[in-house]
């Protein structure tokens, strides 16, 4: 009787463990810096296709990285989504991600839009899943397009008193400045940053949309913004937003040299992921044509996966329906330049 009871209890325990494992297999815990309501359809689409439930924690990039460090091995996070290349790089060098081994992702995402492979044939730490171009907008009445067709023009004396830009320490700008530093070298990049300070029409303030609105309102003549903020205004159902967008011209800088800087949103598998297989499935789903088209049409971003055709009318309007040249430097180089950039910003007094 005792043996029978023991066997029954053992079987019950095994069943409980199996059920627990099965339940765990049907979940992926996501830490996301993407705060876009349009992404809800992506998440529900993944659950519908796979049966895997997504538990999501929202925070900004810096908050997510700090949380991962604080939680250590006790972290429940499986997938990390960040919206800035410099922060993806920082998470990688801080050892917060684990290598990803996925032929699906390797085939879909170009090499310059993902981390460098780990040593000794290791996997990739993170993959870029969508991009936003860091463009220049300008007053079509007061400014000639040829005077703002490169990033270098932002620091040229010809544009003195014309520039609006958000804080130099914002991740979007740090990534841009890190890229320009890689292209120009430190001495020229610092001189360029100093020139931008001299060209400010007002102290940096607000977000990217505020910069566009400032140009439309005549507060300044040129500004820097991520492309999807302008696309949002173009696609808005508010006439005043569309009017703002129609007042400004847009330039994809450096088409005759290294190409326009892309800010990358990407994904990684957390170092201590408990649902590793599901985490990889989720990232593979985000690289699928269905999800990539949703990034483009739902949130006005450019997809990173090869062969995906963008049908978004606002993105087409900005580029004239023609593909633009984007820079191809490794993101690791951009990330490695950030500490130098921060020192330069302090030296030139960039707010």
List the binding residues for Fe cation. 35, 228-229
Tokens of 251: 């330039």
Task: Enumerate the β-bridge partners of residue 58.
Answer: 32
Report the C-alpha gap between 201 and 296 in whole angstroms: 33
| Residue corresponding to tokens 């939680």 | 71
Annotated binding site: 35, 228-229
Number of other CB atoms surrounding residue 62 within 10 Å: 14
65 membership: H or E segment, kind and range: helix 61-71
The number of angstroms, rounded, from the C-alpha of 325 to the middle of its chain's C-alpha atoms is: 18
* DSSP state for residue 310 in the 8-state scheme: P
156, 332 Cβ separation under 8 angstroms? no
Report the C-alpha gap between 346 and 335 in whole angstroms: 18
User: Dihedral sign, CA of 54, 55, 58, 62?
Assistant: negative
* b/e per residue 307-337 (b: at least 16 CB within 10 A): ebebebebbeebbeeeebebbebbbbebbbb
Query: Do you know the residue count of the chain?
Result: 351
Q: What backbone phi and psi angles, to 5 degrees, belong to 153?
A: -60, -25
3-state secondary structure 103-117: HHHHHHCCHHHECCC
Closest CA relative to residue 130, chosen from 145, 147, 110, 116: 110
């Amino acid at each position: 009787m005792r043996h029978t009871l023991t066997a029954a209890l053992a079987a019950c325990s095994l069943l409980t463990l199996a059920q627990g494992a099965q339940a765990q297999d049907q979940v992926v815990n996501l830490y996301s810096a993407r705060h876009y309501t349009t992404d809800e359809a992506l998440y529900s689409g993944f659950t519908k296709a796979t049966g895997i439930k997504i538990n999501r924690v929202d925070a900004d990039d810096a908050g997510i990285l700090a949380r991962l460090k604080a939680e250590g091995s006790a972290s429940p996070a499986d997938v990390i989504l960040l919206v800035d290349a410099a922060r993806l790089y920082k998470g990688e060098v801080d050892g917060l991600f684990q290598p990803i081994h996925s032929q699906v992702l390797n085939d879909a995402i170009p090499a310059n839009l993902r981390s460098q492979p780990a040593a000794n044939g290791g996997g990739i730490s993170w993959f870029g899943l969508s991009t936003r171009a860091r463009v220049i907008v300008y007053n079509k009445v007061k400014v000639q397009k040829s005077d703002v067709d490169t990033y270098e023009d932002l620091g040229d004396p010809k544009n003195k008193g014309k520039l609006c830009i958000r804080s130099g320490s914002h991740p979007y700008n740090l990534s841009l400045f890190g890229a320009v530093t890689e292209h120009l070298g430190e001495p020229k990049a610092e001189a360029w940053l100093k020139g931008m300070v001299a060209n400010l029409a007002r102290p940096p303030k607000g977000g990217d949309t505020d910069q566009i609105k400032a140009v439309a309102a005549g507060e300044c003549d040129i500004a820097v913004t991520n492309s999807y903020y302008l696309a949002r205004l173009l696609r808005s159902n508010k006439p005043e937003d569309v009017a703002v967008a129609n007042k400004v011209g847009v330039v994809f800088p450096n088409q005759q040299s290294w190409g326009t800087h892309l800010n990358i949103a990407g994904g990684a598998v957390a170092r201590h992921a408990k649902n590793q297989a599901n985490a990889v499935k989720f990232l593979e789903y985000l690289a699928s044509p269905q999800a990539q088209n949703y990034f483009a049409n739902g949130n006005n971003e450019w997809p990173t996966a090869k062969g995906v055709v963008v049908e978004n009318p606002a993105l087409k309007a900005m580029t004239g329906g023609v593909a633009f040249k984007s820079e191809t430097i490794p993101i690791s180089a951009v990330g490695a330049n950030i500490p130098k950039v921060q020192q330069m910003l302090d030296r030139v007094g960039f707010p």
